[in-house]
A and B are shown apart, each in its own frame.
Chain A
Amino acid sequence: MAEDIKKIMFTVRKGPHGTIYVYEGLEVKLIMAAYDADISVVFIDDGVYALKAGQNTKELGIKGFEATYGVLVDYEISKVFVDKKSLEDRGLTQDDLVVIGEDEETEEEIRPKVVDADEIAAMMAEQHNILCF
């Protein structure tokens, strides 16, 4: 019944910690992943900072969510994309980003995939719903 599976995209455009959006968005993704939905996540604009490795929120007194990003693939969220221009504008490369899991067979680390705006726009056009955080 593959045609019944909803394609749902999440876009993350806000930086982490300044607002609750990124954290809340992550919660929603994990909940949605429990259902039979085809989930993809796209990080655009300051949203790319949410994926930067090495976040330490101890002094903010909050839990942070880098560890959760680290197991996204285990939650069957493996379609994770980053907008190339947003990344480059902020002086970042794919190597600066968190690992979201590892390949079951090769045990190779999986990082978010860097794609350009045209590729993201094409994916957007295929969705049933798009939620922005």
Chain B
Amino acid sequence: MLHTVNQSPFQKSTLESCLRFVRKGDVILLLEDGVFAAQAGTAMSSLVEGALKSNKVYALSADLKARALTDVIQGVEVTDYAGFVDLVEQHTTHAWL
């Protein structure tokens, strides 16, 4: 499973909800305002840090760059649109809108 999260963790509990349903082998892609969850050293960093213990977490580079986010949590893999397409090809997707 690929879980995509496009909401900021500071404004919505979308990522928290998503993480309750993530299983072993599932991957998470943060995009749009979801990439705020990938910042290191924030009040919400622990969500992604926790997820990284058991799952792969990706963040979309275009959305990171657009928001000037350079300090990404260690272990989060930055991917581009081509990588996004690969992930969608490899997994059944659930968009946590």
Contact = CB atoms under 8 A, between A and B. Distances in A.
Given A125-B1, A125-B23, A132 B17 contact: no
Contacts of A122: 23
B92 A132 contact: no
B92 A129 contact: yes
A121 B92 contact: no
Interface residues of A, number: 16
B47 to A, nearest CB: 16
B20 A124 contact: no
Interface string A100-133: 0000000000000000010011101101111010
B21 A124 contact: yes
A29 interface: no
Nearest to A128: B92
A99 interface: no
B26 to A, nearest CB: 8
A129 B94 CA distance: 8
Contacts of B23: 121-122, 125
Interface string B54-81: 0000000000000000000000000000
Interface size class of B (residues with CB under 8 A): 10 to 19
A106 B17 CA distance: 37
A124 B22 CA distance: 10
B11 interface: no
Interface string A1-21: 000000000010100000000
A117 B97 contact: no
Contacts of A97: none
Interface of A: 11, 13, 44-45, 85, 117, 120-122, 124-125, 127-130, 132
17 contacts: A13-B96, A44-B17, A45-B17, A117-B21, A120-B21, A121-B21, A121-B22, A121-B23, A122-B23, A124-B92, A125-B1, A125-B92, A127-B92, A130-B92, A130-B94, A132-B94, A132-B97
Interface of B: 1, 13, 17, 20-23, 92-97
